[in-house]
Structure 1
């Protein structure tokens, strides 16, 4: 097995492990590695595809605790937000896009770590959910990391952790699926060109 393939499988394994333990983080953990190992276009598509599977696997265990009205508002925003995210990623040359993806992920990590310390709150309503979904969808299409925007929303609205984590899973499935579809429509050549054995390996590490 080629070293690059081993690294791809390891990156996906770490991302799936994070998703199962915390309810999010697949794109934040695996995204930077897959972008470097493949390229910004197919790397993010692969993050999205594997992220759908990882989120769905968590969702089948937590669906009873999901908050469906919040999910609908967030998902609507995410579907709309994938359009500018996909347009942005398809219009940029590879080196600047790699820098942009890295910067977005760093900003996402910093915001996730610092917002909880501010002690501020925002109302949990249709407007804030739709706006959060828009940012998340754009981030998912551009950098494969749609979770931090919703995590920031959860912190600022004091969303109860178990309900948030359960609702996040179907939301990420919808958001990442929309990102894959939108990027396929805008730039059909972004699909990762991997051998069948590699796809099977990806499925195995996701299950693991």
Structure 2
């Protein structure tokens, strides 16, 4: 069960997360993850974030359909779905908190190096880069619940046009989330939030509201601002994972 006040807080987080997802193509888990973990617990939070990410992206998808890069989606989506099971297995054998700290530190370093890289004339977007990036995203998303920094690094080094990137991510994240949920059900079947039907309905309504609010905003934000948002969200994602790991070890 969930009380009215925690549900209201969660709905506000869902609205903000959906706004970030529509504008930048990422950030849903970064916004939703900590809030969900505090309100429903860390195990149920993973399920909740993935379910609501599917809902959010599903609502956004029809509005950005024409801008999706389907070939690039296949290159990164298939490895992400395949490697997510390795992430779940990794999380079972390695200390989750140590893993979070290591992943967060590497993620921040990767974003910084990628940002320096774009000051050159080079561009990394070969098939091997796409497959490696997709696999890493799926691995990290399943292992520590945060794949956004790896997504941000790939967007930066590949110089992926922000409008196409944001659109393609609306199709990419449901693939990763569905794969994670299915594999989690096989390996760790417990952990679904014990909510009444109206709790889930409230979450869907908040997500839909976020989609409606985000649409006119997304049309007015220039590409440079979106690129900056991607870098900031990626660094914040890495920092959030480090903090979670430190808090876990300290506790």
Tell me the TM-score range normalised by the shorter chain.
0.7 to 0.9
Structure 2 residues not aligned, in runs of 5+: 210-251
Segment drifting more, 145-154 vs 118-127:
118-127
1:174 alignment partner in structure 2 = 175
Q: Which has the higher contact order (CA 8 A, sep 6+)?
A: 2
Taking the TM superposition and a 5 Å limit, the aligned residue runs for 1:4-19 are: 4-19=6-21
- Stretches of structure 1 that go unaligned for 5 or more consecutive residues are none
TM-score, normalised to structure 2, is: 0.72
Query: 1:29 maps to what in 2?
Result: 31
Q: Is the 8 A contact 2:23 2:166 kept in 1?
A: no
Deviation at 1:83, TM superposition (A): 0.6
- Which of 1 and 2 has greater Rg? 2
Judge conservation of contact 1:44–1:142 (CA < 8 Å) in 2.
no
**1:20 positional shift:** 2.0
Structure 1 residue aligned with 2:76: 74
- Work out whether residues 45 and 144 of structure 1, in 8 Å CA contact, stay in contact via their aligned partners in 2: no
The residue number in structure 1 matching 2:60 is: 58
Distance in structure 2 (CA, Å) of the matches to 1:44 and 1:74: 22
Which one is further off, 109-118 or 155-164? Answer: 109-118
| 1:66-145 aligned within 5 A | 66-90=68-92, 97=96, 100-101=99-100, 104=103, 108=107, 111-112=110-111, 115-119=114-118, 121-145=122-146
* Per-residue CA distance 1:30-55 (angstroms, 9 max, x = gap): 11221222222210111111111112
1:159-196 superposed Cα distances (whole Å, 9 cap, x missing partner): 11112112121111111111111111110002222221
CA contact (8 A) 1:75 1:171 kept: yes
Q: How many Å separate the matches in 2 of 1:57 and 1:22?
A: 15
Alignment check: 8 A CA contact 2:65 2:167 kept: yes
Aligned residue in 2 for 1:200:
201
1:115-141 deviations in Å (ceiling 9; x for gaps): 324435453122111111111112222
Question: How far apart, in 2, do the equivalents of 1:179 and 1:135 lie?
Answer: 14
Residue 235 of structure 2 is matched in structure 1 by none
Cα distance in 1, alignment partners of residues 49 and 102 from structure 2 = 17
CA contact (8 A) 1:40 1:97 kept: no
When the two structures are aligned, how many residues end up with a matched partner?
Answer: 205
Give the superposed CA RMSD: 2.4
8 Å contact kept, 1:146–1:172: no
